[in-house]
Chains A and B, each alone.
Chain A
C-alpha cells in the first residue's frame, strides 16, 4: 500500500511544478540566430582598419561599428582565455541573453555564432518579466552546427587560407581579401537562409552521423559493386550511392565530407523541379553542357578539388567524383557513362523499392502493435559515423528534455578519439523527471541508446528491456559493416 502512495505523489509533485510554470509563462521565444561572423585579426595591420578583419557578418544590414565591436569582444575573450590555456582553444561565451560559440578551423580564422537564448515571458506580481533560459542551450549541439557551417563552405570552396596567397599589406592581398569576402557573402547568404531551424537541432546535428539504408546482402553487394566504376573509368576517384535520402554505400569518403555531400544532395533534390520522367531511364542531374561543380574533399588530410557529377535513376542517386586536376569531362564521357549506368541503376533501384516495401509492411505491423510508446533506439558507430535509429519514425514522440539529455550523455566524436585514446567501456541508465528512461551503452567505438517511457519500471526491468532491444536491433549488417 505504501509504495502506491508514494508512486502517486511523485508524478503529482512534478505535474504541479510543470503546471505552475506553464500557467505563468505568457509567451516563449525560441532560440534564434543573432549573428554569425568570420574574422581574421591579422588583416588589421594598423588602427582604423578594423573593418578589414571582418570577412563576413550576418545579418548584413548592421552598422559597421557594431560589427567591429562584436568582433572586438570575441577577440578579447579569445585573448583572455589564452592567458590560461592555448590561445586556439576558446569554445564558448555565455551571457545572460546569448550563447556565443567559437570555432577556429584554420589558423587565424575564427567563426563565431551568436545565439539568442530561448526566453519566456512570465507574469510576476503583475509585471511581465523576461526569463532567459540559457541553461537549455546545449553548447555541444550548436558547436557542431557551427563546425558544419565551416565544413559546408570548405566542401564547396576549399580552404580559406588558400584564397589569400599574396604577401600581406599589398594591393594584391587586399584584392584577394575582398574576393574572399564576396565569396563568403555569396555562400553564406544562401546557406544561412536555407539551413535548418535552430531549435530543432539535436543529437543528430551534433554527431554528424548518417543513417544508412539497411539492405539484405545480395542487394547490398550489387549496390557495392558500383564502386568498380572507379576501375572501369579511372578518372572517377570515388563513387557514392544514395537511395532517396539515405546513403547506400559511402565509399571511402571522409565522414564529415560524406555528411556535407549528403546535405548538399538533399538541398539539390529539393531545389530540383524536373519531373520524375527525366530519371526513369537515368540521367545526369546537372545539364551535360555545363561545367560540373567543383567540390573539395579531404583526402588523407589534404584538401583536394574534384568535379562532382550527380547521376540519378528513379530513386537512386550516384555521386561521382572526378579529379579536377584533369580537364572537365567532355560530352562523350557523359554519354558513355549514361549508357553504362542507366539500365543497371534503374534495375537496381526497382529491386530496392520492392525490398523496402516488403520491409515497410513488416515494420508497420510491428509499429501498430506498440505505437508511440514503443521503445526508441539510437545506435552510433563512432568510427564510420553511421547511425541507426527509429527516433524519427513517429514525429515528436520524444520530449525535448530527453533529446537534450542524450546529447549531454553522448561522447563527443573527435579526432583525438580516433587517435587512439582508448574509448572507455561504460553503461549508464538515467531516469528523467518526466519518467523516461535512457539506457546508454558504449563499447568498441559504438554508442547505443535505448529510450523507454515506463514510469513504473524498476532498474532491473529497464535493464532487461534494453538488453532485448539491443539484441533485436543490432543484427543489421550495414551497421556492423567495417
Chain B
C-alpha cells in the first residue's frame, strides 16, 4: 500500500486466510518482527537464546523420551586432550603482546619482537605482503588464549603475532568490563565476536555492514560447533586454556572455507550469498503434486522409525522437502550448514554415509547421526535422514531404498532430474523475461525464511557487475534491517540501476531495475511480479514442513 493502491495486498491477504503459518505470523506481529528481522541479525538476542540452549540438550531429552536405555553421548565426540605443543611459548607471546597494548611505542615494539624471537624468525611477513594486506576479506579465529585456529588467507601458524595482537586487544578491553564489537578504518572494517572461549574476527573491504559480518561470523562459529559441539569445546578449554583446537578441526577447514567463499570477495558469482544475507534458504521449485508425493513417500517409509528427527532432501543447494519430528523444526542457519556439508563433500556421491552432525540451533550440545546418500547415481538429489540413535544405520539405509523406489515409480525422480536439467527454471525465467526492465530480485515471505531469486543474468554475470549488485543488496538490507532505525521502504535511483526495497507484513522484496525506468513502470512491474509469485507460491516455497 505504500507503493500504490496495490492489488498485491489483496492477493497476500487471500493467501493469508488459506495458510495456517501465515495466520500465525499475522496474529503475532510483534514476535514475528523480532524473530525474522531484528532478532536474527541481533547478536545479543542470539546470545541469550544460546545461553538458554546451553542449559539443556534437546537431543538427550529426545533420547530419554524415546528409549529406556539412554547411553552416555560421549562415544562419538572426538575425545582428545593431548599435550598442547607450544603451550608455554604462546603464553609468553600473549604476555608480551599484552605489554604491546599498554605501550606501543617503537621501543616497546622492538623489545617484544626480541622476546619472541623464535617465533618471528619463520613468521610470515604479512605486514609487507601487499596481496595479503589487500585481500577483500579476512577471517581469523583464535582461542581466548591467543592460539590460532583458522585464517581465511595465509597460514595461521605464520600469523601468530597478529593473533597475539588480536587476543591482547580483546582481553585488554575485557579487563574494563567491556567488549570490542568493531573497528572502522579507511576502507576496511573489522567485526569482533566472542563465543565460548573463541574469538572470531572478520575484516572486510566490501559493503557488508558490521551486523552482516557478525552474521557471517556466527555462521562460521556454528560450523565449528557443528563439528565439535558446544559442550565439547567448553570441556577442552576448561581443561587447558591454550589447547590447539586445530587438531580437532582437521578436515573441516574446507567446510569453513566454503561457507566463507560464497561471495564476490572470492571471485564467485552466485546467488548463494543472498541466502546468507537474508538469513534464509532457497527452495527447489517443483509442482505441488510432485512435492507432496515426495513428502508422503518419506512419511510413509519413515513414520515407523523411532528416533528419526529429520528427513531432508536437497538438490543443487536448494531444499526439496523436509519432514520433521512433531514439535521440532530446523533453523535456516542449521539448514545452511547442511547445504554446506553436502556441497563440500564429493565423497557422499559414491556411497552411503553415516556421519555425526551437530545442528547448533537445534541442539548445540549433541550430535545427530545422519544417513547421507544420493538417491540414485544419476539423480543429484541428496537425502539426509537424521536420527538420535547411533545404531540406526541399517534401518535408515533400508528406508532410503524404499523411498527411492517409491519416487522412481511415481516419476518424482524424473521430475527432479527434469528440473535440474533446465539451465534455469523455465517459468521463473520467463516471468523475469516478461519484465525486461527487472534485472534481479530477492523475495522472502516473512513467515518462512525462504528466498526466491532468479538466476543471475547479464550484466551481473561478470564479477565486476556482480560485486556492485552484492554491494547494493548489502547496503539496502542493512538500511532496512538497521536495529536502531529500520525502514519500511527504499526507492533509490542510482546511475546504473533503480533499486526498490519493500517490507510489508507478509514479505520482503528487493528488486533491481534498469536505471532508465520511471517510477510508475517500477510500481507496475512490482505489482505484476508480486501477483505472479502469489499465484505460483507453492511451487517456489514450502508453507509447512510435514511431520512424520
Contacts and interface: CB of A to CB of B under 8 A. Distances in A.
Interface in A399-437: 401, 404-405, 408, 424-433
A375 interface: no
Contact of A80 (B30, B108, B165, B494): B165
Interface of B: 1-6, 9-10, 12-13, 26, 29-30, 33-34, 100-108, 126-127, 133, 138, 162, 165-166, 168-169, 172-173, 177-188, 190, 203, 210, 479, 482-495, 504-505, 519-520, 523
Nearest to A88: B186
Contacts of A47: 103, 105, 107-108
A460 B183 contact: no
A94 B492 CA distance: 29
A309 interface: no
A427 B505 CA distance: 26
A277 to B, nearest CB: 49
Max chain A C-beta neighbours (<10 A), residue from B180, B181, B489: B181
A76 B100 contact: yes
30 contacts: A2-B10, A6-B9, A9-B505, A10-B505, A17-B30, A47-B107, A72-B104, A75-B103, A76-B104, A79-B165, A81-B188, A85-B185, A85-B187, A89-B185, A91-B186, A93-B184, A95-B180, A96-B178, A97-B177, A405-B487, A408-B485, A426-B492, A426-B494, A427-B492, A427-B493, A429-B489, A431-B490, A432-B488, A459-B523, A460-B4
Contact of B486 (A73, A86, A433): A433
A90 B485 contact: no
B334 to A, nearest CB: 27
A3 B484 contact: no
Given A76-B168, A432-B486, A459-B4, 19 more contacts: A3-B5, A6-B12, A16-B29, A45-B107, A81-B183, A81-B188, A81-B190, A84-B133, A84-B185, A85-B133, A86-B186, A90-B183, A93-B180, A96-B181, A135-B482, A405-B487, A428-B491, A430-B490, A433-B488
A3 B14 CA distance: 12
A273 interface: no
B105 A41 contact: yes
Contact of B187 (A50, A76, A89): A89
A86 B205 CA distance: 13
**What DSSP secondary structure best describes chain A's contact surface?**
helix
A50 B493 CA distance: 52
A433 B100 CA distance: 46
B180 to A, nearest CB: 5
A112 B58 CA distance: 48
A302 interface: no
Interface string A12-40: 11001100100000000000000000000
A241 B104 CA distance: 48
Nearest to A427: B493
Contacts of B138: 84
A90 to B, nearest CB: 5
A76 B30 contact: no
A261 interface: no
Nearest to A422: B495
Interface in A194-229: none
Contacts of A13: 29-30, 33, 505
Contact of B484 (A44, A80, A404, A430): A404
B131 to A, nearest CB: 12
B173 A404 contact: no
Given A47-B107, A459-B3, A76 B127 contact: no
A7 interface: yes
A2 B484 contact: no
- What 5 pairs between A and B have smallest CB-CB spacing? A89-B186, A13-B29, A81-B185, A431-B489, A427-B493
A133 B42 CA distance: 12
